[in-house]
Amino acid sequence: MEEKMNFILLVPILFPVIAGVFLVWKREFRKRRNLLWFVGTALLITGTFVAVNLMGGERRLTAFYLTKELPVFFKLDALGRLFALLVTLVWILAGFFSFEYMKKEKRETRYYGFYLITFGVLLGLDFSGNLITMYLFYEFMTLASLPLVLHSQTREALMAGLKYLFYSFCGAYLALFGIYFLIRMGNTIEFTPGGVFESGFLAEHETLFLVITMLLIFGFGVKAGMFPMHAWLTAAHPVAPGPASGVLSGIIVKGGVLALIRVLYYLIGPGFLSGTRVQKIWIILTLITIFMGSMLAFREPVLKKRLAYSTVSQVSYILFGLAVCERSAFEGALLHVVAHALIKVCLFLCAGAIIYRTGCKRVEELVGIGKKMPVTLWCYTIASLGLIGIPPTSGFVSKWYLGMGALDSEIPIFSWLGPMILIISALLTAGYLLPVTMKGFFPGEEFVCKREKEPYLMTAPLIILAALTLFIGIFPETVLTVIRTISGVCI
């Protein structure tokens, strides 16, 4: 009876996938209005079923068995709830933004089809209860989101899609090699806070587990855009349609973050990683990525590419917090997962709105844009302040926890070097984001520009995302309560 009751776990996964497959098969609607009603209804129904699951207790469901030892198993725990809520909120907002943006795009039905399929797959990743289920949905995530990158079918999009596919599969196969050993050596592959391996067993096979850990970090780090596997991100994100760029940069990259949390904090355990050479290598790679991504963004003249390089840097803030293996840093990492998703989706949607209304793609072309699109640029400015880490935004709180966690860790050199690089990166972030605001609002006395009416389907999601950036910064306990529940059982 309990298993039947928990079948509701599968509904938000299967429903958008089935709706998306129908759209891909249908190809065209006679009236665009019917297409938008179908997509909007599918998004809201899925969101409703996610809310029903989130309001219940812990749910568990074994769907079927691949082999006797490999069940496809779903479990909704605190970490899964946090990621599922974030995915649902962003997917619905970016979806409604698409209703206006995609007017000028071809093959709109196919776009929405794969958009819905990816939504369901991401929820499957969030609800995964064991290693094999997570890996299956991790691979599905790449395949489902690839058509979003390829949507325009230009040569640039095709090359970016191939790069995305190549990097993602190479990373997934590296992780798969580590997964083989984890499944072979573990008595269970169900995710358990704090890890499933006993300390004595880990000490006995220390070298092997260090190799496994390094493979998993490199493998899943590809999706998170960690150096030196970051090149796909700056190629794929800018060529996708504006809303797709937003969810790719704000949500899809978090798939790699979620996978790393699951294998390091729910299987191997953070205590094993702490103080090892692997931990130091991982911290070095994250700090290189943070600084390098900020520098490349600072030098990039194309707005969407600038934001893509920024994602390379900002997601490694999260990886740095995870690598430190300290409670405050872990909480800062999870808080930055939330903050960065909302902020970066807002920034990409702002860029998409500007391109949609003006066709301008380069930063130097945006002179006076604030007089033409004031709501869009105000939302961009608030999100930019959040990404820099200026109070009272969510980015300030998450970076505060990351910095304090690094100092509390007392790791030689990195306990002070980490916060220093975070501050330098914040200054560079101000250097590449705020010039858009300056050019947009203060173009000079001679500039004359007529204000245009901004579509409410575009401005409403932007206002909500900007407001959430401020709300979490002012009332961080609303999110930190959940995050502390997760950190309390993991570390």
Over the stretch 240-249, which tens digit does the pLDDT of each residue have?
888 888 898 8
pTM of the model: 0.92
Span 356-365, pLDDT tens digits? 888 888 888 8
- pLDDT above 80 (res 446): no
Q: Fill in the DSSP letter of residue 56.
A: S
CA pseudo-torsion sign 454, 456, 462, 467? positive
pLDDT (tens digit per residue) in 110-158: 999 999 999 999 999 999 988 999 999 999 999 999 998 888 888 888 8
- The first and second tokens of residue 270, run together, are 């953070």
Among 49-58, 219-228, 256-265, top mean pLDDT goes to 256-265
Using CA atoms in the order 382, 386, 392, 394, what is the torsion angle rounded to 10 degrees? 130
Strongest mean pLDDT among 26-35, 194-203, 320-329, 366-375: 320-329
- Side chain identity, residue 472: I
Condensed to tens digits (0 to 9), the pLDDT of residues 447-484 reads: 445 566 778 888 999 999 999 999 999 999 989 988 88
Instruction: Specify the higher pLDDT residue, 225 or 327.
Output: 327
- Domain extents in the chain: 274-491
Averaged confidence pLDDT in the chain: 88
What was the pLDDT predicted at 1?
Answer: 41
Calculate the CA 79 to chain-centre distance: 14
Distance CA 75, CA 130 (A): 8
Tell me the pLDDT tens digit for each residue of 327-356.
Answer: 999 999 999 999 999 999 999 999 999 888
Higher pLDDT, 334 or 271: 334
Residues contacting residue 23 through CB under 8 Å, at least 6 positions apart: 35, 38, 39, 109, 110, 112, 113, 116
Mean pLDDT of 214-220: 91
| pLDDT score at 451 | 60
The pLDDT of 167-189, averaged and rounded, is 83
What pLDDT shows up at residue 187? 57
Q: What is the pLDDT of residue 228?
A: 83
Please enumerate in sequence order all residues whose Cβ is within 8 A of that of 340, keeping only pairs 6 or more positions apart, or say none: 250, 314, 315, 317, 318, 387, 395, 398
**Contact yes or no for 167/231 (Cβ under 8 A):** yes
Measured between alpha carbons, how far is residue 260 from residues 133, 185, 434, 439 in Å? 14, 19, 32, 40
**What local confidence, expressed as pLDDT, does residue 5 receive?**
60
